[in-house]
Chain A
Amino acid sequence: DAGVIQSPRHEVTEMGQEVTLRCKPISGHDYLFWYRQTMMRGLELLIYFNNNVPIDDSGMPEDRFSAKMPNASFSTLKIQPSEPRDSAVYFCASSFDFRRANVLTFGAGSRLTVL
């Protein structure tokens, strides 16, 4: 397996534009997580899915952020409209069953810069 695949690796956009980040989890993993990392706040959990269903989105900063998982092999995190404070590295991770063992496999991240 190629691991968790995220795209794009780098995104530079202007304030007000829509940003879509993509994630392909490891096949067979039932859980998918989106984390955001900044220098000020560290790694923060935004949302996680179980079997494509959002379970907890309490970490999503505001309504400008939305996440979907239309099928077991694909998830998106969308920011619309984007703001400079959204600049961060966004990580996607997947897990077989984190309730049994919280062993997450992280992707390489998507570095977002909003000008």
Chain B
Amino acid sequence: DAKTTQPPSMDCAEGRAANLPCNHSTISGNEYVYWYRQIHSQGPQYIIHGLKNNETNEMASLIITEDRKSSTLILPHATLRDTAVYYCSLSGNTPLVFGKGTRLSVIA
């Protein structure tokens, strides 16, 4: 049970921001929100994670709502190479469980 809900697919125009939502209404107090992506036929790749504050790194930004029941991964300027399946997952001190993710298609 992945404990997260994501839309199955999304499109984004190249150069625009891609905003990928994730619902996790049953998140526990010690659980972090993790985002990974999987480009076709490759292994999943770590993107970012956070507990309750917004986080930013060179790949993306993570916005977590104040009640922590949902979050949004933001790719500020999507490129064709960002086309992938994006997974949102929760983890305290247990291994990651992956749901079906969101298939993001970046369109030229």
Q: Which residues of A contact B (CB under 8 A)?
A: 4, 33, 35, 42-43, 45, 48, 56, 91, 93, 98-99, 101-109
Contact = CB atoms under 8 A, between A and B. Distances in A.
A102 B45 contact: no
A37 to B, nearest CB: 9
B43 A107 contact: yes
Contacts, number: 49
Interface of B is mostly: loop
Contacts of B45: 106
Given A99-B93, A102-B34, A102-B91, A42 B46 contact: no
Given A56-B95, A98-B95, A93 B49 contact: no
Interface in B51-86: none
Contacts of A103: 46, 49
A51 to B, nearest CB: 15
B26 to A, nearest CB: 18
7 contacts: A43-B44, A56-B95, A99-B93, A101-B32, A103-B46, A108-B42, A109-B42
Interface in B4-62: 32, 34, 36, 41-46, 49
B95 A106 contact: no
Contacts of B99: 42
A106 B93 contact: no
A101 B49 contact: yes
Nearest to A102: B91
Interface residues of B, number: 21
B3 interface: no
Contacts of A4: 43
Contacts of B49: 101-103
A56 B97 CA distance: 14
